[in-house]
Amino acid sequence: MAIKKLTSLTVLALFCITIMDCDSISPAIPAPKSLGYLSPNPYPFYPFPVPRGIKAAYWPSGNGFPASSIDTSYFTHIYYAFLLPEPATYKLNITTFDQEKLPEFMGALRARNPPIKTLLSIGGGGNDPIVFSNMASNESTRAIFINSTIEVARKYGFDGVDLDWEFPENHTDMFHLALLYKQWRKTLKREAKAIKKTRLLLTSAVYYATKITLLGKARTYPGNTIRKYVDWVSPMCFDYHGSWERVTGEHSALDDPNSKISTTFGIQSWIEVGVPPKKLVMGLLLYGRTWTLQDPKVNGIRAPAVGPGPGGGVLVYSQILDFNTE
């Protein structure tokens, strides 16, 4: 049974997120309002705007790629991914591995000139959402979690904290998520005032659209709360299709006229619930999805498939490069 390469539509950016619009958030590196060809151009000067906003990447601490190798010229912010709360205490679990990697990460990025902004990301895909659900359900447990995130962020010198809860499972979870965002932001503000330091940023990775319809009843993110209390959210505009389906599909489609599973639909849904474009950061990935085709002669989008392809259905960028040269 032959395998057909299907990577050209899936490779986007390595755990990378780029902003839609970010007028109210200062970039890490100040930029002039406009640039242009000044001399010896004999034609009239036509300035062009400098792109503004967030260009960030999640650095998976266990991927074997040293933080010192990150080319920070591409980014305004880098996320350390990931820490998790203890299921019993809701305090962040700093493993022996993290005790080694956190100083390495911060030391490498703080040594850059200018130093890049850093955020501590909590959660990630594949982790038990029940821990977040239980933590967010009570004001006192939310406080324990929030205070722990601030303590760790300040200890290592991060500029902000990021929540990647994948995913709230019902309406009650969404209600508690709104309370968590609000309490977190207010605590960050009080803490910054008390120690006379800049407030830590509060960001969150979220589902590509405001309404989650998978795994249970449909539930909707608290758009108004996000608008008021979160600095920005990053809709995860990827994993739309994969080898769990028996036909091939676009891993991260910008648009799909026949479906609501697309980035265009998702981003618009966030705007419609009141989250301004300046607080929307479109999330992209640099891994590819693979399938084993039923018939290698019948390939392309919507081709019949029998299961995962190389890499168990997923190839990271370096593997894609190697695969395409074989």
Active site amino acids: 166
Q: CA 165, 283, 292 angle in degrees (round to 5)?
A: 90
**CA distances, 218 to each of 125, 167, 206, 288 (Å):** 19, 12, 15, 28
Q: CA 281, 91, 93 angle in degrees (round to 5)?
A: 85
The Cα–Cα gap between 281 and 19 comes to 4
CB-based contacts of 294, cutoff 8 Å, min separation 6? 303, 304, 305, 306
Q: If you search the block for the tokens 């392309």, which residue do you land on?
A: 300
DSSP annotation of 247: B
The Cα–Cα gap between 222 and 235 comes to 14
Phi, psi for residue 18 in degrees, rounded to 5: -125, 145
Q: Is the dihedral of CA 202, 205, 209, 214 positive or negative?
A: negative
Q: Is the dihedral of CA 309, 311, 313, 315 positive or negative?
A: negative
**Size (the chain), residues:** 326
If we measure between CA atoms, which residue out of 65, 96, 94 comes closest to residue 153?
Answer: 94
The Cα–Cα gap between 202 and 74 comes to 22
DSSP annotation of 264: H
Q: If you search the block for the tokens 């309404």, which residue do you land on?
A: 211
Tokens of 225: 């709360």
If we measure between CA atoms, which residue out of 270, 137, 254, 256 comes closest to residue 205?
Answer: 270
